[in-house]
Amino acid sequence: MKHRISIAALLILTVGLIASRADAAEPCPTGLAEGKRITVLVEGDGPDVVLIPGLSSPRAVWDATADRLKDKYRLHRVQIRGFGDAAGVNAEGPVLDPMMREVADYIDDCITDQGRAAPAIIGHSMGGLTGLMIAARAPDEVGRLMIVDALPFIGTLFNPAATADSMKPQAEQMAAMMRAQHGQPVPTAPISDPGPVSMVGSMSNQPAGRTAILGWMRTADARVTAQVLHDVMTTDMRGELAAVTAPVTLLYAQDDSLMTGERAKAAFEPQYVGVPKFAAQMVAGSRHFIMLDQPETFAKAVDDFLAD
């Protein structure tokens, strides 16, 4: 009888162990993780850092940052499908909210469910808004957040009294114009600096920066760019800021040829009132792509942010 009980107990224990292993989240290995709306390049070792690019930008926008950090951190470089690769399901319907939820699920599955600390997130532009959405709606998945030149609601740059609803007509018009570019021949001429007074010139004050941005815009899927632009313009996170428990650091650009320091501060910092733990740093001499225009200042800010 004792022998039979021991065998039965062993069988129950074995079945239990098999079930628990089946239920456990599988670790996400180094290399490329393929998601429905995103892909994530995992490299390096150490505390986890998630890097999210902005509108039309591939993960390559973080190349210099990744080269500096991957010896000390485990990096998760997100790329939205359509920005550097095929659009897939992002070609139709809303993108920002389902993409944000997929990034949050990835963090849960590959980082926090593995017993690792919630990661630092660094997001540029739309990527910063994505990080803010995750920090408000899935706060356990964010250890700290750096937002690079982004706002909780971009509509206030168009009109201080703007609302998500009031922005819809303009967002739809701009998205329609951009969507109409889908299917047009992609220029084959070598990419060169379009100059400081070009549309790209408003994003970077460096020739190399403008050239890189133009190249990324050429290869981005116009349908995805159009939809994400619409989603960003009609997303207002100001009412959810109190739910953000992670420390938030804002880096915002200031270029005298576009905006005085006083105006830049007034445009950015008041929008984050309500975030419990908040710090802001203006980066002078820079346009939207701070990491391209002021790489040394950006690198130091990132190092300080991760060291806190």
What pLDDT was estimated at residue 30? 87
Distance CA 253, CA 238 (A): 20
What pLDDT was estimated at residue 183? 83
Surface-to-core class of residue 19, CB atoms within 10 Å of its CB (0-12 exposed, 13-18 middle, 19+ buried): exposed
- Full residue range of the structural domain in which residue 152 is found: 5-307
Distance CA 124, CA 147 (A): 6
Distance CA 220, CA 131 (A): 21
Q: How far is CA 61 from CA 92, 160, 194, 240, in A?
A: 25, 30, 18, 28
Low-confidence stretches of the chain (pLDDT < 70) are 1-27
Sheet containing 248-254: order of strands: 31-34, 38-44, 74-80, 48-52, 120-124, 144-148, 248-254, 278-284
What pLDDT was estimated at residue 185? 83
What pLDDT was estimated at residue 171? 96
| pLDDT, tens digit, 9 for 90 and up, residues 100-154 | 999 999 999 999 999 999 999 999 999 999 999 999 999 999 999 999 999 999 9
What pLDDT was estimated at residue 12? 30
What pLDDT was estimated at residue 27? 60
What CATH number corresponds to the domain at position 201? 3.40.50.1820
Contact in structure between 128 and 230 (CB atoms under 8 Å): no
Residue percentage of the chain with pLDDT more than 90: 86
Domain count across the chain: 1
Distance CA 205, CA 290 (A): 10
